[in-house]
């Protein structure tokens, strides 16, 4: 870890609920826009983009180097304390993996119906991303599963061992786009052979 360890800041959380001034038990689209503008203002240099795709969703895209700072802000200032899932999307043509953290809040004053999608894009070859396990402990198994299914290495994760696949798995991670199911492997090979013959 470098000298500036952002995780250490957790020990003295300011815990200001920035959703407090929005009012009302459920969010309207205006409330969400207010919230989004505030995020944009305070995280100006750290995020790549932020938007509202539809009511109840907020998209925040960050670079992988900045993800810990942004996650800390979202946890401490916006009280997004529950990570619901960690997903990854494989884009083989653009040669990137997109990791998506879905975040939800239980302790914000305004019980939020909106879910934050914290997205980050990492290169497909030798994929590394900082683990958020010290910010949200609940992310442990999700990151393990993402590691198992996509081969993404989460730096700082204590145990990225096998979770769902059999212990003697020796193949590429199965949810990558270039993984062919064993059931269809012969078919695909035959198709490839026939295509070559045609050429």
Partner 1 sequence: METVDDKNSVSRKQKKDLVTQPEDELVQDTKSFAGNAFVGKLSDFVKKVANVNPIRYILNWARMYSLWPTHITTSCCCTEFGAASGPRFDMERFGLIQAVGGARQSDLLVIEGTISYKMLPRLERVWEQMPAPKYSIAMGACALSGGLYYDSYNVVPGIDKYLPVDVYLPGCPPRPEALIQSVLLLREKIGRSRIE
Cβ-based nearer residue to partner 1, 21 or 189: 189
The residue within the footprint of partner 1, chosen from 11, 137, 182, 197 (CB under 8 A), is: 182
Does 164 interact with partner 1 (rule: CB under 8 A)? yes
- Residue 10 tokens read as 């957790």
- Helical segments of the chain, H only: 29-42, 67-76, 140-150, 185-198
User: Residue 162 or 192: which CB sits closer to partner 1?
Assistant: 162
| Region binding partner 1 by CB under 8 A among candidate stretches 38-46, 60-68, 82-90, 174-182 | 174-182
Pairing of strands 153-155, 82-91: unpaired
100: left (phi over 0), alpha (psi -120 to 50) or beta: beta
Measured in Å, how far apart are the chain's first and last C-alpha atoms? 53
Interacting residues with partner 1 between 120 and 139 (CB under 8 A): none
167 is an interface residue for partner 1 by CB under 8 A: yes
Site for partner 1 (CB under 8 A): which residue of 184, 190, 191, 192? 184
Interface with partner 1, residue 193, by CB under 8 A: no
Region near partner 1 per CB under 8 A, out of 15-23, 42-50, 80-88, 162-170: 162-170
Residues 116, 56: Cα–Cα separation, whole Å: 8
* CB of 156 closer than 8 Å to CB of 134: yes
Task: Give the footprint of partner 1 on this chain (CB under 8 A).
Answer: 164-167, 171, 174, 179, 181-184
């Amino acid at each position: 870890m470098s000298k500036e360890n952002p995780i250490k800041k957790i020990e003295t959380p300011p815990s200001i609920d920035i959703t407090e001034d929005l009012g009302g038990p459920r969010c309207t689209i205006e409330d969400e826009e207010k919230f989004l503008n505030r995020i944009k203002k305070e995280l100006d240099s750290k995020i790549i983009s932020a938007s509202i795709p539809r009511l109840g969703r907020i998209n925040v895209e960050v670079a992988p180097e900045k993800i810990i700072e942004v996650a800390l802000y979202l946890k401490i200032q916006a009280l997004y304390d529950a990570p619901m899932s960690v997903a990854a999307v494989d884009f083989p043509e653009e040669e990137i993996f997109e990791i998506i953290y879905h975040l939800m809040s239980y302790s914000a004053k305004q019980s939020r119906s909106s879910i934050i999608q914290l997205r980050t894009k990492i290169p497909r070859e030798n994929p590394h991303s900082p683990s958020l396990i010290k910010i949200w402990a609940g992310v442990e198994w999700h990151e393990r599963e993402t590691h198992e299914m996509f081969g993404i290495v989460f730096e700082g994760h204590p145990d990225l061992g096998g979770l769902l696949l059999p212990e003697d798995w020796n193949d590429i991670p199965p949810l990558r786009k270039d993984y062919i199911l064993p059931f269809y492997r012969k078919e695909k090979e035959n198709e490839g052979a026939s295509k070559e013959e045609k050429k």
